[in-house]
Amino acid sequence: MNTPPIIGIDLGTTNSEVAFVHETRPEILRDGDDGILPSCVGVDDDGRLIVGTTARNQAVAYPERTVLSVKREMGKEKEIPLAEKRYTPQEISALILKELKEKAEKIMGRGVGHAVITVPAYFTDAQRQATKEAGAIAGLEVVRIINEPTAAALAYEGSHAGDERRTILVYDLGGGTFDVSIVQIEDRVVEVLASTGDNRLGGDDFDERIIQWLVRELKQQHHLDVTENRAVMARLKSCAEKAKVELSQAATTRIEADHIAEDIHLSVALTREAFEGMIREEIDRTMQSVTKALQDAGITPGDIDRILLVGGSSRIPMISNMLKDKLKIDPSKEIDPDLCVALGAGIQAAREMGIDTSGVLIDITPYTFGTSAAEFNDEGLDPHVFVPLIKRNTKLPVSHTETFYTMVDNQDLALIQVFQGEESNALDNILIGSYRFDLSNSEAGSMITLKYDLDLNGILKLEAVEKETGRTLNAVIDNVFACEDPDRVRTSQEKINGFSSMGAAAKPGKAHSGEDTIPPDITDTLTLAREKLDVASKEDQDEIIDLMEEITDAVEDKNFEKARIICDELEDLLFYID
């Protein structure tokens, strides 16, 4: 613990982040924010230096007192005017680094004097030297400069102890730069085989395409020319970026800005398809760079083991589709493309401190989670339709609610099941939880809402609510990312939670028919078991729960004979518990 802490920094053209290994995992340091600091420095109305979001927000309105993309100037002998003063590129970068250093100190509660900083693979010695100087000005000794694609590869592969050689293509599209690199990792050593790209291509250009389109729309619809009006152009820029980001999720979006001129309001729809048309040429160019990188490295597409998407703009869906078409592999996007490089820098920083890391905490769910429900389709009643509530690749934490309806009058129970998988027949997926929910015998079509909450630690909370009565069932399943072995993921705790709030009879799915109620003798045994569960020893609890589950399963199969045999066994056990 005497080793001085070393932080990892992605000093980006558009955005910067800082990471630190906590225990064994690199984490982005967040101070109640998303951890992303715009690489932007400015002077505010009162003449004070500002760094980050506030500086970025004033950039279009006050360009003369804002500096953007200083990274492009690194290594050049020049001075950058800012308000009345002049600064070297290193000094401006140092202001950004200082902001990150202070944030790290605040969060870690101690002084930080050392850092690993990433730079593009093509950076010259002079540019690397300038980056080190920026660190020194900010009070950070730069213990190592590493290449951005190397950091990205470390974030993805750093935890794999495997020593077989892997060849990785890193496609990094940021705000103003595009880099594609081929890296090879072997024995935990990463080497950049080739790196190419375009340092004048990125998300800003895509925003600009949308802005130009909006300017044309305003001209055509309202005969209004806003190009000289900085305040309006600033608003169009933020609308454009917002629309672009939305189109990475949605097929269409609406851009709205009131009072562009006195009584003129902007309101236009933009489809993903139209946006793709605007940027296709640029994306095509990036694909040509991919080909060039492969050639430079002397390899063919078949040699690539993995494609990593890095940089905020790599979220544009067209990009992964085109890469997949071209290289015949699905690009990996488990690690947030905005944070990937900083996390890799954090891993390298830990190595410098002599700490072994266990890899990046994946912050998206690798699996789909859902429930089973009955549904009428063309072929009649399908009792086991898989209804996904949380889809694979969704960012965590996430919460989703679906509504279900009872199927018959007087339905008194619903079996709420949790499955992991992608198959449309729920039974082909892995069952990781099963809970009986006592209903109030209301009429068919009564509403039940089912909510899943999944957090970063793989804890899945579910809540079912009978709308009419407010009756609620809560359960918690731990460790759902370790789903390979379904029996292992259920902890006693969730089992108890589930059982203690359950009703007396069940049938799978959202819709249940009343005729399948459990015979009263079996229900009595289950009720007794629930009562004794609280006072039983931990060992007995586990056994009781297992038997209760076996009974439920037998009842589900309508094998009441088997259920009764297990009931006898359960009763024997309960007899000794007081």
Q: Which residues bind ligand ADP (CB under 6 A)?
A: 12-15, 174-177, 202-204, 241, 244-245, 248, 311-313, 315-316, 338
The smaller minimum CB distance to ligand ADP, of residues 250 and 482, is found at: 250
The smaller minimum CB distance to ligand ADP, of residues 308 and 496, is found at: 308
Question: Which residues does 332 contact at the CB level (< 8 Å), separation at least 6?
Answer: 156, 306, 307, 308, 309
- Rounded least distance, CB 25 to ligand ADP, Å: 21
- Rounded least distance, CB 201 to ligand ADP, Å: 11
The sign of the CA dihedral 425, 427, 432, 436 is positive
- Of 10, 91, 204, 412, which one is the catalytic site residue? 10
The smaller minimum CB distance to ligand ADP, of residues 204 and 494, is found at: 204
State which of residues 8, 12, 120, 344 lies at the interface with Mg ion (CB under 5 A): 12
- Rounded least distance, CB 14 to Mg ion, Å: 7
Chosen from Mg ion, ligand ADP, none, partner binding at 244 (C-beta under 5 to 8 Å by type): ligand ADP
The smaller minimum CB distance to ligand ADP, of residues 184 and 253, is found at: 253
10 catalytic, yes or no? yes
The smaller minimum CB distance to Mg ion, of residues 12 and 433, is found at: 12
Respond yes or no on whether the N-terminal peptide bond of residue 383 is cis (omega within 30° of 0): no
Phi, psi of 209 (to 5 degrees): -60, -45
Question: Which residues does 490 contact at the CB level (< 8 Å), separation at least 6?
Answer: 432, 433, 477, 478
Phi, psi of 418 (to 5 degrees): -120, 125
Give CA angle at 514 (412, 564), nearest 5°.
90
- Tell me how far apart the alpha carbons of residues 527 and 521 are, in angstroms, rounded to a whole number: 10
Q: Which residue is nearest to ligand ADP (CB)?
A: 203
CA 4: distance to chain centroid?
31
According to DSSP, the β-strands at 306-310 and 166-173 are parallel
Tokens of 115: 């850092």
- Tell me how far apart the alpha carbons of residues 123 and 147 are, in angstroms, rounded to a whole number: 9
Give yes or no for a contact between 192 and 181, defined as CB atoms under 8 angstroms apart: yes
Question: Which residues does 264 contact at the CB level (< 8 Å), separation at least 6?
Answer: 218, 222, 224
Element (H, E) at 294: helix 272-297
Task: Assess 35 for contact with Mg ion (CB under 5 A).
Answer: no
Contact window for Mg ion (CB under 5 A) among 11-19, 127-135, 436-444, 456-464: 11-19
CA 196: distance to chain centroid?
28
Contact string 158-187 vs Mg ion (x = CB under 5 A): ----------------x-------------
Give, as one character, the DSSP assignment of residue 510: S
- Of 71, 103, 237, 244, which one is the catalytic site residue? 71
- Rounded least distance, CB 197 to ligand ADP, Å: 12
The smaller minimum CB distance to ligand ADP, of residues 75 and 203, is found at: 203
Chosen from Mg ion, ligand ADP, none, partner binding at 433 (C-beta under 5 to 8 Å by type): none
- Of 99, 172, 207, 438, which one is the catalytic site residue? 172
Chosen from ligand ADP, Mg ion, none, partner binding at 203 (C-beta under 5 to 8 Å by type): ligand ADP
- Rounded least distance, CB 391 to ligand ADP, Å: 17
- Tell me how far apart the alpha carbons of residues 299 and 297 are, in angstroms, rounded to a whole number: 6
Chosen from ligand ADP, Mg ion, none, partner binding at 248 (C-beta under 5 to 8 Å by type): ligand ADP
- Of 148, 157, 179, 438, which one is the catalytic site residue? 148
Give yes or no for a contact between 326 and 301, defined as CB atoms under 8 angstroms apart: yes
Chosen from ligand ADP, Mg ion, none, partner binding at 131 (C-beta under 5 to 8 Å by type): none
Chosen from Mg ion, ligand ADP, none, partner binding at 15 (C-beta under 5 to 8 Å by type): ligand ADP
- Rounded least distance, CB 59 to ligand ADP, Å: 13
237 catalytic, yes or no? no
- Rounded least distance, CB 339 to ligand ADP, Å: 9
Unique residue bearing structure tokens 């703009």: 313
- Tell me how far apart the alpha carbons of residues 261 and 538 are, in angstroms, rounded to a whole number: 71
The smaller minimum CB distance to ligand ADP, of residues 167 and 248, is found at: 248
Positions marked active-site:
10, 71, 148, 172
